[in-house]
Amino acid sequence: MADPYERQLVNRSFYQSKLPIRGKVTVVLRGLLENRSLNLIKPISRAFPAGTMIELIATDEEQAGPGGTVERIAYIAFVELLNGGVLLAGDRVLVAGVEVGVIAGFDDTHMPNHQNTVISVSKRISGADLGITPGDDFLIPGFST
């Protein structure tokens, strides 16, 4: 069976509506790298049960997206998801009520321990420099089209 993502048959328009995903920041990160070589998987979505840990990593690379490679990154935070749901490339990411970026894609380097969730940002800034603190609310807003 051929992978529909590999064949570019599935895109964001397949998603009619979804619930918001809420979480809490558990660890704030700092640091930037110029040569991280994250390989974003081709699927545009990942489904997670409540209690899953994800790592937020920012990039300012304009071409970042599913199936690509990301070099320039800033470490943001680890987040525990409080409810299950689906994260989708293109979803807005809010921490403490402030939009920090949009999901570009996912890297499986540390699976099954945690999912690297790469977000596109206009300027690479670490979680520490953004002023994020443990316990801050995390939100991926839901939508209905």
What's this model's pTM, rounded to 2 decimal places? 0.92
pLDDT > 70? residue 144: yes
The conformation of residue 83, written as its DSSP 8-state character, comes to S
Alpha-carbon distance values, 108 to 17, 20, 44, 105, 141 (Å): 26, 23, 13, 10, 23
Q: What is the pLDDT of residues 84-113, one digit of tens each?
A: 999 999 999 999 999 999 999 999 999 898
For the chain, domain boundaries: 18-144
Q: What is the pLDDT of residues 41-91, one digit of tens each?
A: 999 999 999 999 999 999 999 999 999 999 999 999 999 999 999 999 999
Instruction: Report the DSSP beta bridge partners of residue 81.
Output: 23
